[in-house]
Structure 1
Amino acid sequence: MVSTENTMVVPLSGIDQNGVHTSSITFGYVVARLDVEALEAAAIRAAEEWRLLAGRVEWNATIKSFQVRVPVSGSLPKDYALVKFTTSKLPSTKLPITPFDDSSATFLERPPVKLFRHSSTLNSLSDYASKKAPILSLHVSLMANCACVGMTLPHGIFDATGMGQVVQALNSCLNNLPWTPPKISSSSILAEELKRLRESESIGDPCPPGLVNLQRDFTSVNVKNVLTLGASCATELLWHRVKPAAIYLGSNVIQEMVANVKKQAADEGKGWVSTGDILVAFLLKAAYLDEGPTSPNALTMSAAVSLRSVLAATNRDFESYTHNALLPLALPPLTVQQVSSMSLYEFALIHRKAIEDMRNIPYIQGYEKWVPSIGGAAIPARRKGTDSWLLSNQVVGGVDKLDLGSEPLGFWHWMLPFMPDHVFTVNKLRGGYILDGFSGVRPQRLKAIEKALEGIRRGEPLVV
């Protein structure tokens, strides 16, 4: 072990520790070939150079908070594990791989998580603390037709942008690229900023419109609300028989879709929308292609959005802030029928407006003043007659940018052991985008999405 004299303590903010007992994140990369020894050496080098990865989670009983104890001495004991690196060999097993290219609009067959995540991989910060385990875990499964590489990190330390920094570290060390390890600090600039905003006088509206939407769709963490959320997840899994599913849209498909929406945006002059806004609108409209026109249900959609750009206006250190720096947003009240009848542009514009409504100091300040009033944490609410979706657009984090030496054949995402129902992520993959409904989608909605994809392949898009 490393003596405490040769370490520094990195504190974690309250945002880091919201939900730390429920999930770690595994990203899965599928490639044709892999140099396993080079990958392990790169991971060790990354943790050696960026000592946060070599740290150990611990519980500070005095302040009732988790923190990371980081070794800062020049050398480490020989028995000190910098990373957890495991492998399995399945030389006679082939992984079904869906071919895709720039013109693809298709479902991808999702491989099992066991190929990317060793059975001993940990989930919660309390597990990492009690076992004094390395923060970074890598698992490689070598198969007859490919190699599967899984990278697992605790969500209580990194959000997708922070995990993208880990990917950059690993990629730089693997491919001998220059890089500068992110700053390690003994103070939490986010915790300090949020405390200042909580305690200072409200700037602007103390409960802006975006926060009103969030308060409607999120609720306090108590036994009743947790059980309601759990019951919703169980209903989707056991009654509706949801299945994880991911679709891939190649670069040519994306370019045409975005060009059509941007033309409509220019013609109507109502506002700019991003590719991410358009993809979110496409997935939801495609899922409701069949049932949407007659559905009696309301629809809510929330997302986790980074605060870095807002806070960096007064502190540039937030541009490269490593730990969690995100808050949830919620769209205004909608019905499934409304979403079904809207154009892609109209729905994308609602999503863009929701992001703009929360990327400002009044929203952050209002959230920080509201959350303590409901017990210090919030979870998505579940109500009868309401379909609730949760999005994580991870493109900005760059978690896909890991060059393992051969062409990527797939890219996957898991949050374990528990996530709410109706969760999907957006990521890039080989010039296109992958929309990963990793928590499951109802079979009839999968059929509707496939119908939408068939329309794209025929050159007659059904979702416009």
Structure 2
Amino acid sequence: MLVPLSLVDNAVADMGITCAFLFGLPGGSDDASLKQVLDDLHGATRRVVEKWALLQGKPVWSKEKGIWTIDVPETPLAQERPFLFTSERVHKPYAAAASLSALPQPLDASSSCAFQPAHDLLHFRRPDLPSTFADWAKKGASLLAVHATVFDDALAVGVTTPHGLLDATGTGWAVRALTAELHHQPWDVPPSTWARNALTDKFDEVVARPVSDDPEDVRIAKSALPGWVPAAKVGNIARFLVGYVWEKKWHKDELRHVFLSKKAVEALTKSVKDQVRDETGGKEWVSTGDVLTAWAAKALFGHEPRSGASALLSPVYALREILSLPDYPANSMCPYPFSPSPIPYSTFPTLSLATLALNHRRCLLLARKEPFLQATLKVMLAQAKGNLPLMPFKPWPWEKKGTQVFIVSNQATADVAGLSIPRPSATAATASAADEDEGTLHDVDVSAPPSRKGSAASSTAAAAASDLPLLAYYMRITSPLSDHTSFRFQVNAQGYFFEGAMRRKRWQGVERAVEQLEREFGHGAAAAAAPPVGEKQ
């Protein structure tokens, strides 16, 4: 059955999402126990794809409609698609393989806020795995691809999906399903087939409604989709390519990943919330997402006081709730402005986190109103001409007063960082016969048919003590050209993860902000509050 996707999926069809997890292995793990971990991971992946039939499909381009579709088989595939599960064994410690001084320490809610150690994507993702939807279709690759690399003391696991099919929420559902299968728990299976695309139908409904002439609604509608332009125009493409080279060669664009402990983030958020409450008399509030976005913006751009340029932040929010599509698995997002107008770099140092966070909250509330969504959809359809993606506007690098658009994605509710894997001992004790098979640690083939289990509720991880400790997490967006103007947040039980690709000077600003966060709200704050040794509390 051909399942139609939407114009939103078209916009990200040349990207892939990889959720990369690094777990510590117990000392003395032998080949048998390591093989059991891989067998269980392979079996869990296979069962997820078998139950969620959409992931068994193959992308097919519809010329007539100008959209991608997924050819979902009527009956389960007799054989696995390529890349469903692959693995390899590296006979050395992880630190040696990754050129680190030592193995990273396990993360927990009170770990120090810090940049995460460098990693090699090859340990989490096969290099020949496609990143564009067109290549996915050409190779017939599995729409859920799991790659595991076993080191002497660590296990690297990468979960990859095509962004042209799933956004962070949809990918998070796949990660959650894997965790559930690994712990032999039920999980809710998202829809796999539909004759009409529900998101497209909702878009048509919203656009067809009468336009409000209320002055406030008219004002809200005028703020729709600032900074986004058609990706098919030569001038826009030229600006993007020149800017890409400029950032890479001149500004030393870097991909970095930061861990922010729950302890520090919660303390920071409370401080900002208290300030907002005091300034507004309790009439307004901000969320953790508002605070983190404000913190990142100030950290990235607060060190450019002499610049005449401006930043226009363009966060995205999920449309599932506002359009009553809670189970829709494909891309469902809409961009909106972080502020009513671009913010000059020179003003970031003087703006408080409370001011920036409250500014973001107000803009998000307006963006969730129908006049904004209606106007945004009309602009998207008009500019994209029905089937071409949009892109953030890029000024020429030499424009001293240009406005740079930055994409922000808060994926805190998406569960993309929530994978947990039982320790080998726990795995061996609970492994089902369906997952047992002969094989080696390279491309283990678990060929026995998996057993079906009921699916009624979202999965919950087993007790942390029975799972492998998480040492690091990395979100990677793969595409022919990596963007240098976007950053994202994820969260799990250990804390928050902040990542993106930015010029080196901006990451230096983040380094200072991370040190300050740790000093004021992390271990530094705890040490300052602790009484001297021997003093009674």
Same fold, TM-score > 0.5, yes or no:
yes
Q: Report the CA distance between 1:336 and its aligned residue.
A: 1.5
User: 2:81 is matched by which residue type in structure 1?
Assistant: A
Q: 2:320 aligns with which of 308, 323, 326?
A: 308
Q: 2:298 aligns with which of 266, 270, 285?
A: 285
Superposed counterparts of 1:158-197, under 5 Å: 158-184=166-192, 185-197=194-206
Mean alpha-carbon deviation: is it higher for 384-393 or for 131-140? 384-393
Alpha-carbon deviations, 1:144-174, whole Å to 9, x = none?
Answer: 3311111111111111111111112212111
What's the TM-score once normalised by structure 2's chain length? Answer: 0.78
The separation in 2 between residues aligned to 1:178 and 1:113, in whole angstroms, is 31
What's the TM-score once normalised by structure 1's chain length? Answer: 0.90
User: 2:147 is matched by which residue type in structure 1?
Assistant: H
Q: Residue 87 and residue 297 in structure 1: after superposition, are their counterparts in 2 closer, same or farther (change >3 A)? A: same
The separation in 1 between residues aligned to 2:135 and 2:508, in whole angstroms, is 40
Q: Residue 16 and residue 210 in structure 1: after superposition, are their counterparts in 2 closer, same or farther (change >3 A)? A: farther
The separation in 1 between residues aligned to 2:11 and 2:509, in whole angstroms, is 35
Say which SS state the counterpart of residue 15 (structure 1) adopts. helix
Q: Is the 8 A contact 1:47 1:82 kept in 2?
A: no
Mean alpha-carbon deviation: is it higher for 101-110 or for 172-181? 101-110
Q: Is the 8 A contact 1:140 1:147 kept in 2?
A: yes
Q: Residue 460 and residue 187 in structure 1: after superposition, are their counterparts in 2 closer, same or farther (change >3 A)? A: closer
Matched, 1:223 2:234: yes
Structure-1 residue corresponding to 2:329:
322
Q: Report the CA distance between 1:262 and its aligned residue.
A: 1.0
Structure-2 residue corresponding to 1:3:
none
The separation in 1 between residues aligned to 2:183 and 2:19, in whole angstroms, is 19
Structure-1 residue corresponding to 2:275:
264
Superposed counterparts of 1:197-236, under 5 Å: 197-203=206-212, 208-209=218-219, 212-221=222-231, 222-236=233-247
Q: Report the CA distance between 1:260 and its aligned residue.
A: 0.6
Q: Residue 324 and residue 457 in structure 1: after superposition, are their counterparts in 2 closer, same or farther (change >3 A)? A: closer
Q: Is the 8 A contact 1:205 1:362 kept in 2?
A: no
Q: Is the 8 A contact 2:3 2:72 kept in 1?
A: yes
User: 2:243 is matched by which residue type in structure 1?
Assistant: S
The separation in 1 between residues aligned to 2:151 and 2:221, in whole angstroms, is 48
User: 1:354 is matched by which residue type in structure 2?
Assistant: C
Q: Report the CA distance between 1:423 and its aligned residue.
A: 1.3
User: 1:94 is matched by which residue type in structure 2?
Assistant: Y
User: 1:198 is matched by which residue type in structure 2?
Assistant: V
Say which SS state the counterpart of residue 293 (structure 1) adopts. coil
* Residues paired across the two proteins, number: 444
User: 2:206 is matched by which residue type in structure 1?
Assistant: L
Matched, 1:251 2:253: no
Q: 1:445 aligns with which of 506, 511, 516?
A: 506
Q: Is the 8 A contact 1:210 1:330 kept in 2?
A: no
Say which SS state the counterpart of residue 482 (structure 2) adopts. coil
Identity, % of aligned pairs? 26
Q: 1:410 aligns with which of 472, 475, 478?
A: 472
Q: Is the 8 A contact 2:225 2:336 kept in 1?
A: no
The separation in 2 between residues aligned to 1:210 and 1:218, in whole angstroms, is 17
The separation in 2 between residues aligned to 1:345 and 1:108, in whole angstroms, is 27
Q: Report the CA distance between 1:245 and its aligned residue.
A: 1.4
Q: Name which one, 1 or 2, has greater alpha-carbon Rg.
A: 2
Q: Is the 8 A contact 2:93 2:154 kept in 1?
A: no
Say which SS state the counterpart of residue 10 (structure 2) adopts. coil
Specify which structure has the higher proportion of strand. Answer: 1
Structure-2 residue corresponding to 1:346:
355
Q: Residue 243 and residue 419 in structure 1: after superposition, are their counterparts in 2 closer, same or farther (change >3 A)? A: closer
Q: 1:274 aligns with which of 287, 304, 308?
A: 287
The separation in 2 between residues aligned to 1:294 and 1:131, in whole angstroms, is 50
Structure-1 residue corresponding to 2:150:
142
**Runs of at least 4 residues off by over 6 Å:** none
Alignment gaps of 5+ in structure 2: 26-33, 423-467, 525-537
The separation in 2 between residues aligned to 1:282 and 1:295, in whole angstroms, is 20
Q: Report the CA distance between 1:183 and its aligned residue.
A: 2.1
Q: Report the CA distance between 1:66 and its aligned residue.
A: 1.6
User: 1:257 is matched by which residue type in structure 2?
Assistant: L
Q: Report the CA distance between 1:126 and its aligned residue.
A: 1.4
Mean alpha-carbon deviation: is it higher for 207-216 or for 254-263? 207-216
Q: Residue 457 and residue 62 in structure 1: after superposition, are their counterparts in 2 closer, same or farther (change >3 A)? A: closer
Alignment gaps of 5+ in structure 1: 1-7, 313-317
Say which SS state the counterpart of residue 63 (structure 1) adopts. coil
